Amino acid sequence: MTKVHFSDVAVMEVSNTVFKHKHATRNTLARNRMLARLTEAAEQGVLLATHDNAELMWLRRHVGTDDIAEPEPYLFCLQHDWVVLTPAERALRTIKGLAEFHPDWAFWGYDAALLWGLEVPNDLLGPRFLVKTGCSVPLSAGCRLLRPQAAGALERVDGVRVTPFWRTVEDCLLRAPFSYGLAIADSALRAKGISRDDLCERLQADCEGRHGYRRAQVIASHADGLSENGGESRFRAFFIAYGFPVPELQVKFRDPLDSSQVFRVDYFWRLEDGTCVIGELDGKGKYALQNDEGRESVDPFVAERQRESHLTMLGHKVLRFTFDELKNPGKLAEKMRLAGIPQWADLAEQWRRQWYGR
Q: Can you give the residue ranges of every domain in the chain?
A: 29-84, 89-231, 245-342
| pLDDT above 70 (res 311) | yes
Task: Give the amino acid at 101.
Answer: F
| Bridge partners, residue 174, by sequence | none
Residues 6 or more apart whose Cβ sits within 8 Å of residue 246: 222, 236, 239, 240
Contact by Cβ (8 Å): 102, 121: no
Mean pLDDT for 141-149 is 83
Task: Give the amino acid at 120.
Answer: V
Closest CA to 113 of 82, 88, 83: 88
- The alpha-carbon radius of gyration of the chain (Å, integer) is 28
Write the class of the CATH domain 245-342: alpha beta
Distance CA 334, CA 179 (A): 20
Q: What is the residue-wise DSSP string for 298-346?
A: --HHHHHHHHHHHHHTTT-EEEEE-GGGGG-HHHHHHHHHHTT----HH
Query: Beta strand pairing status for 128-131 and 143-146?
Result: parallel
Provide the pLDDT confidence category of residue 150 given band limits of 50, 70 and 90.
Answer: confident
How distant is the alpha carbon of residue 83 from its chain centre? 15
Phi, psi of 284 (to 5 degrees): -60, -40
Query: Beta strand pairing status for 75-78 and 68-72?
Result: antiparallel
How distant is the alpha carbon of residue 29 from its chain centre? 37
pLDDT at residue 234 in the model: 97
Distance CA 102, CA 136 (A): 12
Average pLDDT in the chain? 86
Mean pLDDT for 104-117 is 96
Q: How many other β-carbons are positioned within 10 Å of the β-carbon of residue 319? A: 18
pLDDT in tens, 42-69: 998 899 998 889 899 999 999 988 789 9
pLDDT at residue 291 in the model: 41
Q: Under DSSP, is residue 29 helix (H, G, I), strand (E, B) or coil? A: helix
Distance CA 265, CA 269 (A): 11
Provide the pLDDT confidence category of residue 211 given band limits of 50, 70 and 90.
Answer: very high
